[in-house]
């Protein structure tokens, strides 16, 4: 299976600031995604991180608020900009690797963000 690490694992931030979350995979992967999971809730897809091009955002999420980079096939960042308490959540990186089982999705350990 793909080994995924995220940094930071958790952070407490002030309103109005920004936080960049890093996702590193131990092998090249076809697709990378960013999810948000609020306490007790399901997984909400924020965007697909595209290597070498702009990310594809889901309805309700915009690039100005959640800029995403993916400079290569093993690394991506998600920035949560101009944070408010409503952004408090767990942010998860996820990958699908073509060399593994068809469509099998792996998740990173998550970044627990608290905005004061």
Q: Which is nearer to another protein, 84 or 98 (CB)?
A: 98
CB 102 to another protein: min, Å: 7
CB 82 to another protein: min, Å: 27
- Catalog residues that contact another protein under the rule CB under 8 A: 30-31, 33, 41-43, 45, 48, 92, 96, 101-110
* Per-residue b or e along 18-30, where b marks 16 or more CB atoms closer than 10 Å to that residue's CB: ebebbbebeeebe
CB 114 to another protein: min, Å: 14
């Amino acid at each position: 299976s793909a080994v995924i690490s995220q940094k930071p694992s958790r952070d407490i931030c002030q309103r109005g600031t920004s936080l960049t979350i890093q996702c590193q995979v131990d092998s090249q992967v076809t697709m990378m995604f960013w999810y948000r999971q609020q306490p007790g809730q399901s997984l909400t897809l924020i965007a697909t991180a595209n290597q070498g091009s702009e990310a594809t955002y889901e309805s309700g999420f915009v690039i100005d608020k959640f800029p995403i980079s993916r400079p290569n096939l093993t690394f991506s960042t998600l920035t949560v900009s101009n944070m408010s308490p409503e952004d408090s959540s767990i942010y998860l990186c996820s990958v699908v690797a073509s060399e593994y089982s068809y469509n099998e999705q792996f998740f990173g350990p998550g970044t627990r963000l608290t905005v004061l």
